[in-house]
């Protein structure tokens, strides 16, 4: 890391007065650092170069930076960067300063603090106070030591708490628990004025709801109090295939309307794309041959994915419970596939695919991604117009295409205009 005061020329958009601040030794203008901070996971928007990168050792370093900028007649841009998994450069700051939030995490580790503190309250139940810079995989490991875990997840766990809470945090648990932003009791936030504010739905509630899902435009999350529940030890993981989109969506809607399941998701499978992609290696070689034959006949099929958690106390009854849950579903006969896995293996399923692609040099490529809320009233038309008429007709390999079922009540606080039973297509 370079010391700012030793480098010339300094970007004129950042005043030299910043050198007098205590954080000056934690700012870098090293060309390699600047270049690395001008890329993100999407690899679509690049070369938006910041003037400097801040490596904070404590929250006060971020406060000092923002207060300094806010006090100028023309403030410079400040952007918090978690694990760099933005798609279109949202964590970049042209001619401004990027705050590398992971630097706080490194400082916590050096001080023997994992950044996640588990507690219990008679009103809240179990919860964890977690640094906004923490990766969800580290939160999971820390809470599992207490036999607990957060209830709502993203498919990929190597994202920061502050990053996903600034978006939504959606996965197959959303139909039951809502997105991650619906499972936060309280936060510490640094506002655009450099104010350090604790907020919740009862305290500074306007800021609380603005920051959750606010894309980082209303403040930087430095701590979040996350809902926890008793963690299972294992999961029964099931995938069922459909050649009829209507039956697929009706079964999804049915499964999220009943009690018993912990995770419901869906995806598209096409002949030109691998059956086992980087999201998970699920199907055995013999199953892949069987599914490949089905795809050659249909071109496109729909995969309904569901999971039921269990532990030692329910191990003897889990198979019977699962059998009852799938009764009456309209999947293709002979195309139900099951897998037993540990809770950790299931939640961290994407990681192995990522590491495999990294080893082949295939991970550091552009990753376009689109999230859409599609209401139930339009989902059939969406399938015909997009999945069939566009994606299938292109006849080109694609990345994962996911369909998450959920209900309006799980998003009502954040998206009041959604109708009664939307589906989230990603």
Which residue of the set 61, 85, 251, 253 is catalytic?
85
Which residue of the set 64, 265, 271, 305 is catalytic?
265
The yes-or-no answer on residue 253 being catalytic is no
Which residue of the set 40, 133, 155, 271 is catalytic?
155
- Around 22, how many Cα atoms within 13 Å sit in the side-chain half-sphere? 10
The yes-or-no answer on residue 133 being catalytic is no
Which 3-state string (H, E, C) describes the chain? CCCHHHCCCCCCCCCHHHHHCHHHHHEECCHHHHHHCCCCCCCCCCCCCCCEEECCCCHHHHHHHHHHHHCCCCCCCEEEECCCCCCCCCCCCCCCEEEECHHHHHHHHHCCCCCEEEEEECCCEEEEEEECCCEHHHHHHHHHCCCEEECCCCCCCCCEHHHHHCCCCCCCCHHHHCCHHHCEEEEEEECCCCCEEEEECCCCHHHHHHHCCCCCCCCEEEEEEEEEEECCCEEEEEEEEECCHHHHHHHHHHHHHCCCCCEEEEEEEECCCCCCECCECCCCHHHHHHHHHHHHHHCEEEEEEEEEEECCCCCCCHHHHHHHHCCCCCCCCCCEEEEEEEHHHHHCHHHHHHHHHHHCCCCCCCCCCCCEEECHHHHHHHHHHHHHHHHHHHCCCCCCCEEEECCHHHCCCCCCCCCCCCEEEC
The yes-or-no answer on residue 186 being catalytic is no
- Residues involved in catalysis: 85, 155, 265
């Amino acid at each position: 890391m370079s010391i700012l005061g030793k480098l010339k020329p300094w970007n004129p958009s950042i005043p030299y007065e910043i050198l007098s601040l205590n954080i000056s030794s934690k700012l870098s203008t090293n060309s390699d650092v600047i270049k690395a901070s001008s890329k993100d996971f999407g690899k679509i928007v690049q070369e938006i170069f910041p003037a400097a990168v801040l490596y904070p050792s404590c929250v006060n370093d971020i406060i000092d930076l923002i207060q300094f900028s806010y006090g100028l007649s023309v403030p410079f841009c400040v952007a918090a960067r978690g694990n760099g998994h933005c798609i279109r450069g949202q964590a970049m700051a042209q001619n401004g300063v990027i705050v590398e939030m992971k630097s706080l995490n490194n400082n916590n580790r050096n001080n023997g603090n994992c950044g996640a503190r588990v507690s219990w309250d008679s009103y809240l139940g179990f919860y964890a106070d977690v640094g906004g810079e923490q990766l969800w995989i580290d939160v999971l490991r820390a809470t599992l030591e207490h036999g607990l875990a957060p209830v709502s997840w993203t498919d990929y766990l190597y994202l920061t708490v502050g990053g996903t809470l600034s978006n939504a945090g959606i996965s197959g648990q959303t139909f039951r628990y809502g997105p991650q932003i619906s499972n936060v009791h309280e936060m510490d936030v640094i506002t655009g004025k450099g104010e350090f504010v604790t907020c919740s739905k009862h305290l500074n509630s306007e800021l609380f709801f603005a920051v959750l899902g606010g894309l980082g435009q209303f403040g930087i999350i430095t701590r979040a109090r996350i809902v926890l529940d008793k963690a299972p030890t294992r999961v029964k993981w099931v995938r069922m295939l459909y050649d009829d989109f209507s039956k697929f969506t009706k079964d999804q809607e049915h499964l999220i309307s009943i009690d018993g399941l912990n995770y419901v998701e869906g995806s598209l499978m096409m002949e030109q794309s691998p059956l086992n992609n980087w999201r998970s290696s699920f199907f055995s070689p013999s199953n892949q041959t069987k599914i490949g034959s089905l795809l050659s006949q249909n071109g496109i099929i729909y995969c309904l994915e569901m999971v039921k958690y269990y532990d030692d106390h329910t191990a003897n009854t889990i198979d019977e419970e699962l059998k009852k849950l799938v009764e009456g579903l309209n999947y293709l006969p002979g195309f139900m596939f099951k897998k037993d896995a540990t809770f950790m293996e299931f939640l961290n399923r994407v990681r192995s695919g990522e590491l495999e692609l990294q080893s082949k040099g295939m991970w550091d490529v552009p990753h376009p991604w689109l999230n859409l809320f599609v209401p139930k009233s339009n989902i059939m038309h969406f399938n015909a117009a997009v999945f069939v008429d566009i994606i299938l007709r292109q006849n080109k390999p694609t990345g994962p295409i996911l369909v998450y079922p959920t209900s309006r009540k799980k998003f009502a606080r954040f998206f009041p205009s959604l109708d009664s039973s939307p589906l989230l297509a990603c």
